[in-house]
């Protein structure tokens, strides 16, 4: 089955299949499968009804009683829910291949996701996106994509590629590309940048959605951002911000990921305004969290714990994302809908007992029943072209007051502080006693030799260094450390691996995780990657690190579209002013 046919089968059924569904619904012909004695959640009315569900060729034919069937499962009063859908996730942030992600998430009830591959695109361009499309084509979980809108995300960093309107034009024609990815360049939209508006136009003229990314945007600026046709946002942190965006016509994606956790703050809006314009999303999901907590099932548990009725929580993770992205025949258990379904015994726990994909039982009690081919096609070309100056982390003293990045635990936003940096012989040094460390970003795509230098608080390191080639969005190498020598060792180890995560102490590598696929993704099984990430965290704690997830925090330090103070290979970035600023203020 070619790509076009494969995708069209998910949205359009031919006359022959229509006839089969009708004949099954009227009991003239038997169903392929009947799920008997199910408590079926109706996402349209919010009610739960005890029914049998008749399935024919992967689609629900009817709900009722006494359907003849080739095969029968007796659910004995267990709850039957639509398959879960994650409306916004970056697969690369799981650190594992899409096939490994599928292994971990499918058994948790996730049957479809909408992924924004802008991490891969920032490193490898169109070739990287096309590679992701190829390796996800035949997975049992349906993986849709949005075309990355901001590659590079801003002119304030050096990326490995540039995707203009011409490149996006071809990507948006792909049948599994369902929209334009989050438009992070909100200043460009507000200023009417022609190239940004052309990208939005290309998506809208094809009838595809345009996802937003506008942290903290309010008032006239928000209206200007929404006006071209941007209709969603997953960056809301505060209740009032989300409410204003809702009132301006946006869909609110309530994010609860491994780093950014916004559900507790935003869930009261669902109770106040109803469920129709809300979705549950992860954005980023760490491999250990996938295995230990789950995926969308974890978000459902938390939503119900926070006081949302189970039927409303389920709708935010099933029908709403399917409706928003025009994924017809998905997200509900109703005649003519795809038979992607999850069986659970408890509407507080949401642990899947069975998972059905297109009417086939694919997982039971957390175990996959069908093998997933995890072999990858030939990987994309190497993604490292890094050149370091002689003293890459040397910072000359140029004043008495310097800007300092302050990490906010469990958030991807940062704050700005001002401090007098310690120095020796006219050069700035790290001061672990004050939790004042050096941070740097080294360009790794074009061999420019660019090194952005700054100071940071919040990691808590007493010694050693952490380095990573995962550094949103351009994914240059980011490093934080207590000494220049340890920072250099960490960066060199990342380079030698062709990308990865590293913890060093003195002249010793304590832990490392190679990420050979674009410097972003491991080729190892998800269980092995989770173990190696745990080893990295233990090593970071050994150095004094106080953050729950230091590498996720490290990866977002280079993201110059999230306030307040960030760092790229071009230097410190004041996100609110959207410009590079000097380290020293005076």
Residue 493's H or E segment, with its range, is helix 484-496
Segments making up each domain of the chain, as ranges: 83-329, 402-581
Q: What is the 3-state secondary structure (H, E, C) of 317-380?
A: CCHHHHHHCCCCCCCCCCCCCECCEEEECCCCCCCEEEEEECCEEEEECCEECCCCCCCCCCCC
Distance CA 456, CA 416 (A): 9
Distance CA 578, CA 289 (A): 33
pLDDT at position 56 is: 98
Reported as a single tens digit per residue, the pLDDT across 41-91 is: 999 999 999 999 999 999 999 999 999 999 999 999 999 999 999 999 999
User: What is the band of 154 on the pLDDT scale with cuts at 50, 70, 90?
Assistant: confident
Mean pLDDT of 297-323: 98
Mean pLDDT of 413-425: 93
Mean pLDDT of 506-517: 96
Distance CA 520, CA 381 (A): 13
User: What is the band of 3 on the pLDDT scale with cuts at 50, 70, 90?
Assistant: low
Question: With b meaning 16 or more CB within 10 Å and e meaning fewer, what string describes 333-346?
Answer: bbbbbbbbbbbbee
User: What is the band of 11 on the pLDDT scale with cuts at 50, 70, 90?
Assistant: low
Contacts of 144 (CB under 8 A, 6+ apart): 112, 113, 114, 115, 176, 177, 178, 325, 327
Residue 177 has pLDDT above 50, yes or no: yes
pLDDT at position 12 is: 73
CB atoms within 10 A of CB 585: 12
| Beta carbons of 538 and 550 less than 8 angstroms apart | no
Question: With b meaning 16 or more CB within 10 Å and e meaning fewer, what string describes 492-514?
Answer: bbbbebbbbbbbbbeeeebbbbb
Distance of CA 100 to the CA centre of its chain: 15
pLDDT at position 9 is: 39
| Beta carbons of 94 and 290 less than 8 angstroms apart | yes
| Beta carbons of 548 and 541 less than 8 angstroms apart | no
Residue 4 has pLDDT above 60, yes or no: no
pLDDT at position 5 is: 39
Mean pLDDT of 285-301: 95
For 158-205, give the DSSP string: --S----HHHHHHHTTSTTEEEEEEE--HHHHHTT-HHHHHHHHHHHH
Distances (CA, A) of 33 to 24, 60, 491: 10, 10, 56
| Beta carbons of 529 and 91 less than 8 angstroms apart | no
Residue 7 has pLDDT above 70, yes or no: no
Strands 79-82 and 402-407: unpaired
Q: What is the DSSP letter of 31?
A: B
Reported as a single tens digit per residue, the pLDDT across 336-368 is: 999 999 999 999 999 999 999 999 999 999 999
Contacts of 325 (CB under 8 A, 6+ apart): 87, 114, 144, 178, 179, 209
pLDDT at position 1 is: 36
Mean of all residue pLDDT scores within the chain: 94
Distance CA 463, CA 481 (A): 7
pLDDT at position 255 is: 97
Reported as a single tens digit per residue, the pLDDT across 519-578 is: 999 999 999 999 999 999 999 999 999 998 899 889 999 988 888 999 999 999 999 888
- Nearest residue to 226 (alpha-carbon basis) of 252, 241, 240, 245: 245
**Any idea which fold 83-329 has?**
TIM Barrel (3.20.20)
pTM of the full structure: 0.91
- Nearest residue to 383 (alpha-carbon basis) of 282, 499, 269: 499
pLDDT at position 370 is: 86
Residues in the chain: 586
Which alpha helices (DSSP H) does 511-565 contain, by range? Answer: 526-542, 550-555
Mean pLDDT of 479-508: 97
User: What is the band of 373 on the pLDDT scale with cuts at 50, 70, 90?
Assistant: confident
């Amino acid at each position: 089955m070619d790509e076009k046919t494969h995708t069209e089968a998910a949205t359009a059924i031919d006359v022959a299949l229509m006839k089969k569904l009708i004949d099954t619904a009227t009991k003239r012909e038997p169903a392929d499968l009947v799920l008997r004695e199910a408590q079926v959640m109706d996402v349209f009315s919010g009610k739960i009804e005890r029914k049998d569900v008749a399935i024919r060729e992967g689609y629900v034919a009817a709900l009722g009683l006494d359907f003849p069937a080739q095969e029968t499962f007796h659910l004995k009063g267990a709850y039957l829910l639509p398959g879960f859908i994650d409306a916004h996730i970056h697969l690369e942030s799981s650190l594992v291949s899409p096939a490994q992600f599928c292994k971990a998430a499918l058994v948790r009830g996730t049957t479809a996701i909408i992924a924004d591959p802008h991490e891969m695109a920032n490193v490898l361009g169109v070739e990287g996106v096309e590679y992701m499309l190829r390796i996800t084509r035949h997975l049992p979980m349906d993986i849709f994509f949005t075309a990355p809108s901001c590659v590079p995300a801003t002119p304030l960093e050096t990326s490995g590629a540039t995707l203009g309107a011409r490149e996006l034009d071809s990507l948006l024609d792909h049948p599994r590309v369902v929209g334009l990815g989050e438009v992070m360049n909100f200043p460009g939209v507000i200023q009417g940048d022609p190239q940004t508006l052309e990208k939005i136009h290309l998506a809208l003229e094809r009838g595809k959605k345009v996802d937003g990314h506008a942290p903290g945007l309010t008032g006239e600026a928000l209206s200007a951002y929404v006006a071209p046709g941007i209709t969603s946002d997953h960056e809301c942190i505060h209740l009032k911000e989300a409410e204003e965006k809702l009132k301006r016509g946006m869909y609110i994606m309530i994010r609860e990921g491994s780093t950014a956790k916004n559900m507790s703050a935003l869930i009261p809006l669902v109770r106040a305004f109803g469920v129709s314009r809300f979705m549950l999303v992860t954005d980023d999901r760490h491999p250990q969290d996938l295995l230990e907590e789950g995926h969308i099932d974890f978000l459902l548990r938390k939503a119900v714990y926070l006081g949302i009725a189970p039927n409303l929580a389920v709708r935010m993770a099933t029908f709403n994302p399917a409706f928003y992205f025009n994924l017809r025949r998905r997200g509900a258990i109703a005649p003519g809908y795809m038979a992607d379904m999850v069986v659970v015994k408890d509407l507080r726990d949401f642990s899947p007992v069975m998972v059905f994909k297109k009417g086939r039982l694919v997982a039971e009690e957390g175990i996959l029943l069908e093998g997933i081919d995890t072999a990858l096609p030939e990987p994309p070309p190497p993604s490292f072209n890094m050149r370091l100056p002689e003293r890459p982390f040397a910072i000359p003293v140029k004043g008495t007051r310097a800007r300092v990045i302050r990490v906010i635990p469990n958030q991807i936003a940062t704050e700005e502080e001002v401090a007098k940096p310690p120095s020796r012989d006219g050069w700035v040094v790290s001061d672990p006693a004050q939790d004042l460390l050096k941070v740097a970003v080294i360009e790794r795509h074009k061999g420019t030799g660019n090194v952005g230098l700054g100071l940071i608080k919040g990691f808590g390191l007493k010694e050693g260094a952490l380095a990573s080639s995962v550094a949103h969005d351009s994914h240059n190498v980011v490093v934080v450390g207590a000494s220049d020598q340890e920072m250099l060792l960490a960066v060199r180890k990342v380079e030698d691996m062709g990308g990865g995560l590293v913890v060093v102490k003195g002249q010793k590598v304590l832990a490392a995780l190679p990420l050979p696929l674009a410097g972003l993704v491991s080729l190892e099984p998800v269980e092995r990657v989770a173990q190696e990430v745990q080893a990295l965290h233990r090593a970071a704690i050994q150095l004094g690190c106080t953050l729950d997830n230091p590498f996720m925090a490290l990866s977002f330090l280079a993201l110059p579209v999230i306030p307040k103070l960030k760092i790229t290979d071009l230097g410190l970035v004041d996100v609110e002013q959207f410009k590079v600023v000097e380290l020293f203020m005076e």
